[in-house]
Each structure stands twice: as C-alpha cells, then as structure tokens.
Amino acid sequence: MTTYRLGIDVGGTNTDAVVLDENDSPIAKTKTPTTEDISSGIVDALDDVLAASGVGADDLDSVMLGTTHATNAIAERRGLNEVGVLRIGAPATESIRPLLEWPDDLAAAIGDNVAILDGGHEFDGRELNDLDETQVRNQIREFRGVDAFAVTSVFSPVRDDHESRVAELIHEEVADSVPISLSNQIGSVGLLERENATTLNAALTSVAEEAASAFLDAMDERNVTADLFFGQNDGTLMSVDYALEYPIFTVASGPSNSVRGAAYLSGVENGIIVDVGGTTTDVGALTDGFPRESSVAVEIGEVKTNFRMPDLISVGVGGGSHVTETDGNVTVGPESVGYRLTEAALAFGGDTLTATDVEVSASSVDIGSHTPDVDSETVRRARSYIRDEVERAVDRMKTSPEPVPVVVVGGGSILVPDDLAGASEVYKPSHYEVANAVGVAIAQVSGEVDRIYSLDDQSRDEAMSDAESEAVERAVRAGADRDTVDIIDIEEVPLSYLPGNAVRMKVKAAGELDH
C-alpha cells in the first residue's frame, strides 16, 4: 500500500498544505485563508489538497503541522498561563529579580508570582546552597491563581537535582497534572536568559493545548488516523505530547520550515534562504541542509532568551507592503495590507498601492483583475528599494564576502529579482510558494543537549558520551525511531573563564519518524 505524508503550515495570513508521495515528491499543494479558530482553516486546506491529489485520508502515513500560534500569543499577550516563577539560587542571585527586564504588559499577562529560594549549584556540580524544602512548599502555597510553574536553578544544565526535587514538591502540593517547565530541559547556561525561556514555555502551556486540540479535532473531523507531529524551530519535528510539554520550541518554526523546504526543493545544502511573505521577508542561513542557529541571545516578545533559535533577519517588505512616495522618495513597507491583499491591492480592485501592484505594473507577473496605473519611475524606484533591502539582508547573513547560492521561496517571491549582488546564483525552485509546508513534511525528529562538564571528575570521552546519549534520548522522546538516530552536530567549547577544567558540550541528534 502506498503511503503519503501531509505537511501543513498555519501562518498569520495563509494555511499552506502539500502532499508528498512515497519518494517525498510533492504531488499536490494548496493555499487557503487562515481562520480564527485554526481548526476549520486546517480542515479547508486538508480537503483542498486531498481532493487535488486524489489521496484518501486513510492513505496518509503521517501529518506534520507548523504553526505560528505560540509566536502570535506572545506578541499579542493573549491566552497565556498564570505562571509561578521559582528561581533556586538564594542568596547568590537575589540582586536581580525574575522578570525584571520583561515588558510590563507581558509580565502582567502571566501574573506577578515570582520567588527566589535557597539552593543551586556551582559550575562543577558542587552545591551552592542547600535546597530548603519547607521554604519551597510554603512558597508554592502562597502563590494565587497559578496554573503553571517555571523552575530555574543556578547551573542546572550541570546538575538538575534541585529542579527535579522542586517539581516533585509542586506535584505533592498542587496536583500531578499541573504543567511544570524545568530550565535544564529548555535553555543553555546563562541564568537570566534561561529563566526567561523557561517562563515563556510555562506561559504557553494553554496556547499549546489549544493548537494541539485544533490539530487533533481537524484530523478527527476527516477521520485521519496518521501519526501527528509538530514542527520545531530547528527545522525538525516533535510528537504532539512533546509539543505540549515544550511549546516554546514551536516559536519561529515557520521560517525554519521554509529553510528546510527551500533546501529540499532546490538541492542547495549551504547558502542563504530568502522567504518572502505578505508582510515581511525572512532571510536565514542554510548549513548542511538545516537552519543556522543564532549564536547570540534572541528576543521573543522583547524578552531575551538563550534556547535554540534560527539565525534570521526580518525585513519589513512583503507582497502586501504599502508603496509610499514622499518628496520624490519611494519606500516599501513596513505597513502592509497583509491577508487583505486580494481586497485592498490595486490589481484586485482595491485602493492601496502595494509591492504586488508594482510587479503587475512591470509585467513580471499576471495576477488580479485590474492593471494598476502606476508611474514607471515609481515602479523603478520601488523595485530598486526592494532589491536594496534584500541584498543588504543577504550580505548581513553571509560569513564571507564570497558569492553564495541564494534560494528564494514564499508566496511573495515575485518581488525578488533573479540576480542579486553577492549571490552566485538565485534559485526559485518548483513549489517555492509552499516551501514551508514541504519543509515540515520532510523533516526529521531531533533532540539536543547543551551542558557544562567538569573534566576534573571525568574524561573528555566520558563527558562526550554522556552528552551524545542524552541527545539521542531527547530525540527518541520527541518521536524519533531510536534505530535511525544519528549525531548530526557537535560543538565543544573549553570554558577558560571558569575555574577548573570545564568544557561546554552542545550535541544534536536526529532520526526518522517512529511510526
């Protein structure tokens, strides 16, 4: 029996879907409007793409979903949990309060429930201070209205004893079902950024449940019994249960899916990816077929975090971007008509000059019901503006001055010229407009570990073996078939600024789906 994969990517404007055959070749694709309830939009995309492909619901082997649900919830400060934030690190870390640098509206959205308690470890695993279990229990009882917990202990990536024990105490005091986020499973070293990432993860628990329910309901409505997976922000997959536990890993999964899809469709393994949407253009780097990870702290909703995130530059230019002329100067974006493109743009009978209208006027594309009457000089300047913006972003993403391949994908790809400064070649592969859905459909499942080891107590080989084993276990927990999991990336950094013989091990493992 032939089996098929279905990839779905729910964006702010469109829900894209693609069906892949047994050779992972696209055989049908669609773009449908994203709906407020998510589920009906997924059903619409599912119906369209299955009808176009002739594939039945029972022929689907697996369904993968990429969604911006978590990203939007943080940006809009909606649907977030009330979080009890517990930092285990007193008295050493009391000088800076948890959530101190958070925007006031975001901190208010998750409640003002923070505490710094005794405990934590040194970089080499020695106890910084004893964990006071009575103090922990009392603090848990004092929190009001909390429905999720975020626990962060000093140097927990080295030793997680105190975080694990606090989680046990929370379950004893509250309920076994209360969601608890532990920082050693989410962020890397760096207390404040790891604490921020862990707190955001806890705050997204209900949002993840809503997205998962919408996904499951859509599949149930059409009697789809295939294995279900979510896209992660490193271009790989995770099971639904894993996504419910770590919803923060879905943030920025859309651009990562586009990078993976662009690599797959073009055959380019190393280069720059330009993903043009309705409002923005995301530019990322491709390294051995995967998104390059950011090496600096990344802000999510104006909050600094240190968990894995793709290295991206976002430019405020897209297919729906306003084209504005002021004193002879023409600019494009950042304002955009967004999902209203087919209503507001001149080419569709609207009254707003957009970047898409510029391309229609230049006769580079034939879409819409009207031919916009745009001055040729305005067209020239607008196209030059877009070219300059994209070329600057590409140049910023490069690690050397040498020309590199550039792959252009996304529904707004018509805006990007076929020749770019700094590009050895510009690719616009087949199915470019649904590269995000293709990327999530062909993805593997991964696991990653980022820890500090003291080599005074063990050999380097023992430390590396431990990190690799943990990365494999995390990949299996996320839904990978253990027999197919391989180590795909190793980063080893000696930490000369710490006393003793310390080293940071960062290891990623990936494998095929476990059916």
Long-range contacts of 163-168 (CB under 8 A, 24+ apart): 163/88, 165/131, 165/133, 166/86, 166/88, 166/119, 166/131, 166/136
Contact 188, 298 (CB under 8 A): no
Half-sphere exposure of residue 283, counting CA atoms within 13 Å on the CB side?
A: 21
Q: Confirm whether 469 is domain-assigned.
A: yes
Residue 215 sits in the same domain as residue 198: no
Q: Which two tokens stand for residue 392?
A: 């600057």
Q: Confirm whether 146 is domain-assigned.
A: yes
Residue 347 sits in the same domain as residue 413: yes
Residue 320 sits in the same domain as residue 435: yes
pLDDT at position 158 is 80
Q: Confirm whether 186 is domain-assigned.
A: yes
Residue 197 sits in the same domain as residue 95: yes
d(CA 341, CA 15): 15
pLDDT at position 47 is 93
Residue 102 sits in the same domain as residue 149: yes
Between residues 301 and 149, the one the model is more confident about: 149
The domain boundary, picked from 413, 439, 465, lies at 439
Q: Confirm whether 310 is domain-assigned.
A: no
**DSSP character for 81?**
P
- The mean pLDDT of the chain is 89
Say which range, 141-150, 445-454, 468-477, has the weakest mean pLDDT: 445-454
Q: Confirm whether 413 is domain-assigned.
A: yes
pLDDT at position 280 is 83
pLDDT in tens, 246-286: 999 988 888 888 999 999 999 999 999 999 988 888 899 99
Residue 499: pLDDT band by 50, 70, 90 thresholds? low
Residue 426: pLDDT band by 50, 70, 90 thresholds? very high
Residue 342 sits in the same domain as residue 478: no
Specify which residues 505 forms β-bridges with. 451, 492
Q: Confirm whether 269 is domain-assigned.
A: no
pLDDT at position 497 is 59
pLDDT at position 341 is 83
Output Rg (C-alpha) for the chain, integer angstroms: 24
337 three-state secondary structure? coil
Residue 399 sits in the same domain as residue 488: no
Residue 214 sits in the same domain as residue 72: yes
Residue 118 sits in the same domain as residue 176: yes
Residue 51 sits in the same domain as residue 106: no
Q: Confirm whether 298 is domain-assigned.
A: no
Residue 69 sits in the same domain as residue 86: no
Contacts of 231 (CB under 8 A, 6+ apart): 9, 64, 65, 66, 67, 237, 250, 253, 254, 256, 257, 439, 440, 443
Q: Confirm whether 257 is domain-assigned.
A: no
Q: Where are the beta strands (DSSP E) in 337-459?
A: 404-409, 423-427, 445-454
pLDDT at residue 449 tops 60:
yes
pLDDT at position 446 is 86
What DSSP line would sit under 131-153, residue for residue? --HHHHHHHHHH--S--EEEEEE
- CATH assignment of the domain containing 120: 3.40.50
DSSP H stretches of helix in 204-252: 205-221, 240-245
Domain that holds residue 31: 1-77+205-251
Counting the structural domains of the chain, the total is 4
**DSSP character for 330?**
E
The domain boundary, picked from 163, 184, 203, lies at 203
- Kindly state the average pLDDT of the residues 398-422: 91
How many other CB atoms are found less than 10 A from the CB of residue 142? 11
pLDDT at residue 465 tops 90:
yes
Residue 388 sits in the same domain as residue 371: yes
d(CA 44, CA 34): 9
- CATH assignment of the domain containing 5: 3.30.420.40
